[in-house]
Amino acid sequence: MYQIGLLYDRQFTAWAVRTALSAVPGLQVHSVPEDGGESARHLDVLITDHRPRDPAIGARATRMLLMSPNDPPPDLDMAESGFAGHLSERCTAAELAAAIRDAAARDTPVPPDEGSFTLSARERQVLRLIADGYTHDQAARRLGLSPHTVNTYVKRAKGKLGLGNKAELTRAVLTAAW
């Protein structure tokens, strides 16, 4: 389960994002007050429409995503500002959920079996979709890949994790919460 924080100046947009994400399994959404309340809660991803005024708020999140109605300001250095990416407020709920999961999983290695391998970000992305109930063809369309490529990612992940079937794979994905 990913812990998602929303820090918005525009309350209607915050409501719309919260509503869109409420139907997405595996995401728990929290409002984050600008004054830094709920400071003990760790967030996997903080979605915001501005750079947090209190640096402690951003520090509570593994990743921050900037969400705005337009492109980010050209003078804003995303990496320097601590943002992992930018989303348009016009994106679909599915695009938003995919961006959140991608940001949350970025650079988070899966514990390897017997110290052998870790899964790539794309392998984790494919496995999350499979665990969410997508078929290989549906996952391929969603990611813009061929079904053969999705099958290859699934086979590689099974081998790396030492798993034999899709049920074991789904259980591993849900247990790891990526």
* CATH at 40: 3.40.50.2300
The domain total for the chain is 2
The pLDDT assigned to 75 comes to: 67
Give the pLDDT confidence score for residue 37 in this predicted structure. 57
Q: Are residues 86 and 52 in the same domain?
A: yes
Question: Which residues form the domain of 23?
Answer: 2-105
Alpha helical stretches, state H, the chain = 11-22, 55-59, 78-81, 93-105, 121-131, 136-143, 147-161, 166-176
- pLDDT digits over 32-59, tens only? 887 655 554 678 888 988 888 777 777 7
pLDDT value at position 136? Answer: 92
Which span out of 69-73, 82-86, 101-105, 134-138 was modeled with the highest average pLDDT? 134-138
Confidence of residue 95 (pLDDT cuts 50, 70, 90): confident
* Residue 146 pLDDT > 60: yes
Is the pLDDT at 107 greater than 60? The verdict is no
Is a pLDDT exceeding 80 seen at residue 17? yes
Q: What is the mean pLDDT of residues 22-34?
A: 83
52 contacts 60 by C-beta, under 8 angstroms: no
Same domain, 128 and 164: yes
Q: Which residue has the higher pLDDT, 90 or 144?
A: 144
What mean pLDDT is predicted for residues 13-42? Answer: 78
- Backbone dihedral region for residue 140 (phi beyond 0: left; psi -120 to 50: alpha; all else: beta): alpha
Whether residues 79 and 133 fall in one domain: no
